[in-house]
């Protein structure tokens, strides 16, 4: 585990504007920086970075945080991977904390496997570029496929010599243990001999989401019928082929930005698409598609477009994966290529514009694809047509979202020229669990259609005032908690006539002390659990640390709370994205009226709580055993107090008992 001191040093050293600047083009905007969102496709900047607060906020996606959370969101690193990335960037030595012997052994073994794979990748690259055999066989093969040197190096392609143990001997010579060479599958160990698994093959390293080499795919170049054309690394502690997608490391940013992932079958399909200019593409590493692989894509987008070869085998492979993708709640489109073509050959023969145009024009919704394909096979045979319809409805039954199910039933009804009633009945037979809900939805829809006029009213969203006030208190504490202000407190006094009256008293106090004492006096509890945690954490920190730092405070929070804090802190920066000052629109700075802001927020909260209390009392009067007279007196007192508070707020409030 990374030591706490290392993590603190990373947070202290890393500059959020420098880290993000490696991925996003930032421009100066006052004391901040702004740029186009790396998480969505936009023309006007909605991405803001604050060097002072050392946080960032993307107003288009709602994401935000510090340098570490940016790497976790944008690069999809784990927390330790993000810390290690920053440590490497800022030349910080990583100190590991003491671990148990078991933890050390497990960590050492995994790290050893990673190191062996990394060495193998570099070795295969060097062999291909620096040896006569590598250039004549390996490099020539990739050149024939149309790959440039830049692309070959981008994907770390290589070649394993056609010798029994050239790689193994070199690895042992460099000090790598045979145990780990065997566990990665790079070396096959027999009682009387050992030899290279990928002898005489061109090599395709398989990377994790964060770029570490997990395993390899190797393609044989001879016509040996006894040998498999493609060979993958065996399962190991670091490589699980059902949980990784080839090309995901190179494609992840493009998938997230384009909000779509192209799924192909082979390594060269991925590489050829990437070289042509379409980078949001991955392959299932020569295995049947698995739920784990689909969920890997789902971290980046909810949309998958399955690309398949023009032959029958390619079509069958695409059909097998569609239902699995639908089960994960994702949106599926399908695109085939002309007969005799595959994604690799088609991309090689076309420009980026031509390829993009073809994909846009020929990508069909899964139901349209399946219907057109199966109708051809049915060939006007009514029995086969019935089987086709059942097959399509079976795919629809896999979809977890009920609304999507109904939409696809309607689409199937239109395409196949069959009533929705029959399709809903078939759906119920296939999936009895969904039958009642599906029929209920359908009947409600039919009932609505029976009306000639449907009155539609759009209600304005109801504002949760207590949520907004609690959020405002957190914002004030974060921005101005340590400020000292002159506050005008209201002391409740009784006049000679027996009436209540608020008299102002001026005193100086720190903002956080004022808020804390006022809320204590009112015995007020936060209703939002995140705000409650933040409130007590901020108050505790402010009491103990006179030099309160929002940067240090954010760095100590978990990701969810850090995101909430970032949203609150950066909310006032939103107007800077649109250069309002150029149009002589100058937003009023809150810091000039901190005392007023605090007083107004507390008074508004008190009025709100009084309203809640009055409502509770009024409900109590409805119960038979209640003391109505006593309750009405209390209500009268609360209403009178609210009137006084409202005058202070400059509001006119009417109330009746």
Q: What is the dihedral of CA 8, 10, 11, 15, to 10 degrees?
A: 160
pLDDT value at 92 more than 50: yes
The helix/strand/coil state of 58 is strand
pLDDT > 90? residue 432:
no
- Maximum alpha-carbon separation in the chain: 109
Element (H, E) at 263: strand 261-264
Which domains, and CATH codes, for the chain? 4-89 (3.90.580.10), 99-239 (3.90.980.10), 367-449 (no CATH), 465-578+587-612 (no CATH)
* 650 SS3 class: coil
pLDDT score of 629 more than 80: no
Q: Is there a contact between 32 and 51 (Cβ–Cβ < 8 Å)?
A: yes
- The pLDDT tens digits for 13-58 are 999 999 988 888 888 888 899 888 888 777 788 899 989 888 898 8
Contact 104, 603 (CB under 8 A): no
pLDDT for 464-509, tens place per residue?
788 888 888 888 888 888 888 888 766 666 667 766 666 777 878 8
What is the C-alpha radius of gyration for the chain, rounded to an integer number of angstroms? 33
Phi, psi of 24 (to 5 degrees): -130, 135
Q: Specify the pLDDT at position 470.
A: 87
Confidence band, pLDDT 50/70/90 cuts, at residue 646: low
- pLDDT score of 656: 38
- Let me know: does 394 contact 430? Beta carbons within 8 Å: yes
In contact, 218 and 202? CB cutoff 8 Å: yes
Provide the CA 630 distance to its chain's centre, in angstroms: 55
What DSSP assignment string belongs to 168-233?
A: HHHHHHTT--HHHHHHTTSEEE-SS-EEETTTTEEEEEEE-TTS-EEEEEEEE-S--TTS-SEEEP
Report whether pLDDT(298) > 60: yes
The whole-number pLDDT of residue 620 equals 59
Q: Please report which confidence band the pLDDT of residue 311 belongs to, taking 50, 70 and 90 as the band edges.
A: low
Mean pLDDT, the chain, integer: 81
- How much is the pLDDT for 589? 54
Tokens of 323: 């239902």
C-alpha span between 354 and 368 (Å, rounded): 23
Q: Give per-residue pLDDT as tens, 570-598.
A: 876 665 555 555 554 445 555 557 888 88
* pLDDT confidence of residue 632: 53
- Number of neighbours of residue 129 by Cβ within 10 angstroms: 17
Answer whether residue 624 shows pLDDT above 80: no
Q: Report yes or no on whether pTM surpasses 0.75.
A: no
Residues 209-268 have pLDDT tens digits of 778 899 999 999 987 778 888 899 999 988 999 889 999 999 988 888 888 999 998 999
Span 631-645, pLDDT tens digits: 555 555 555 555 555
Residue 455 has a pLDDT of 44
Answer whether residue 380 shows pLDDT above 80.
no
pLDDT at 406 over 70: yes
DSSP state of 46: -
- CA 107, CA 48: separation in Å to the nearest integer? 38
């Amino acid at each position: 585990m990374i030591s706490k001191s290392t993590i603190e040093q990373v947070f202290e050293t890393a500059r959020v504007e420098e880290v993000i600047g490696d991925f996003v083009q930032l421009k100066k905007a006052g004391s901040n920086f702004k740029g186009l969102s790396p998480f969505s496709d936009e023309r006007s900047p909605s991405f803001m970075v604050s060097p002072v607060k050392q946080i960032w906020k993307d107003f288009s996606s709602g994401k935000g945080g510090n340098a570490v959370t940016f790497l976790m969101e944008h690069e999809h690193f784990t927390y330790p991977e993000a810390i290690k990335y920053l440590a490497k960037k800022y030349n910080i030595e990583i100190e590991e904390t003491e671990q148990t012997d078991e933890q050390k052994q497990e960590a050492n073994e995994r790290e050893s496997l990673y190191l062996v794979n990394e060495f193998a990748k570099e070795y295969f690259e060097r062999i291909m570029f620096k040896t006569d055999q590598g250039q004549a066989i390996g490099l020539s093969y990739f050149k024939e496929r149309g790959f440039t040197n830049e692309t070959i190096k981008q994907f770390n392609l290589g070649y394993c010599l056609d010798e029994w143990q050239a790689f193994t001997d070199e690895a042992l010579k460099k000090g790598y243990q045979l145990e780990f060479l065997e566990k990665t599958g790079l070396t096959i160990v027999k009682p009387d001999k050992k030899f290279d698994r990928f002898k005489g093959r061109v090599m395709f390293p398989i990377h994790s989401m964060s770029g570490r080499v997990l395993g390899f795919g190797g393609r044989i170049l001879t016509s040996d019928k006894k040998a498999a054309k493609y060979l993958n690394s065996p399962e190991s502690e670091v490589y699980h082929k059902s949980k990784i997608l080839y090309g995901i490391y190179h494609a992840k940013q493009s998938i997230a930005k384009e909000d779509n992932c192209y799924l192909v079958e082979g390594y060269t399909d991925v590489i050829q698409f990437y070289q042509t200019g379409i980078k949001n593409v991955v392959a299932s590493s020569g295995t049947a598609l698995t739920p784990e692989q689909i969920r890997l894509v789902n971290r980046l987008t909810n949309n998958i477009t399955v690309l398949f070869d023009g032959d029958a085998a390619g079509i069958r492979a695409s059909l097998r994966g569609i239902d699995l993708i639908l089960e994960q709640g994702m949106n599926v489109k399908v695109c085939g290529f002309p007969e005799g073509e595959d994604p690799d050959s088609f991309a090689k023969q076309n420009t980026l514009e031509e390829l993009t145009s073809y994909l846009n024009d020929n990508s069909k919704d899964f139901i349209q694809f399946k219907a057109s394909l199966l109708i051809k096979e049915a060939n006007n045979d009514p029995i086969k047509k019935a089987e086709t319809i059942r097959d399509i409805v079976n795919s629809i039954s896999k979809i977890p979202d009920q609304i999507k199910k109904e939409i696809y039933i309607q689409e199937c009804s239109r395409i196949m020229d069959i009533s929705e009633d029959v399709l809903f009945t078939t759906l119920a037979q296939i999936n009895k669990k969904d039958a009642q809900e599906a029929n209920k939805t359908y009947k409600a829809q039919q009932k609505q259609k029976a009306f000639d006029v449907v009155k539609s009213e759009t209600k304005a969203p109801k504002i949760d005032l207590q949520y907004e006030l609690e959020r405002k208190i957190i914002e004030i504490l974060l921005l101005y908690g340590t400020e000292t202000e002159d506050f005008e407190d209201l002391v409740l006094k009784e006049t000679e006539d027996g009436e209540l009256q608020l008299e102002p008293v001026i005193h100086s106090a720190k903002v956080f002390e004022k808020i804390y004492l006022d809320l204590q006096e009112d015995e007020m509890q936060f209703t939002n659990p995140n705000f409650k945690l933040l409130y007590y954490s901020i108050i505790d920190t402010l009491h103990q640390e006179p030099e309160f730092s929002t940067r240090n405070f954010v760095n100590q929070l978990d990701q969810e709370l850090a995101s909430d804090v970032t949203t609150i802190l950066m909310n006032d920066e939103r107007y800077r994205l649109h250069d309002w000052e150029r149009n002589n629109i100058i937003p009023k700075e809150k810091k000039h009226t901190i005392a007023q802001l605090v007083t107004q927020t507390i008074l508004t909260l008190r009025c709100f709580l009084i309203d809640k209390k009055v409502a509770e009392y009024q409900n109590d009067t409805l119960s038979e055993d209640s003391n109505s007279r006593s309750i009405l007196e209390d209500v009268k007192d609360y209403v009178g107090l609210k009137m006084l508070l409202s005058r202070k707020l400059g509001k006119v409030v009417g109330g009746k008992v």
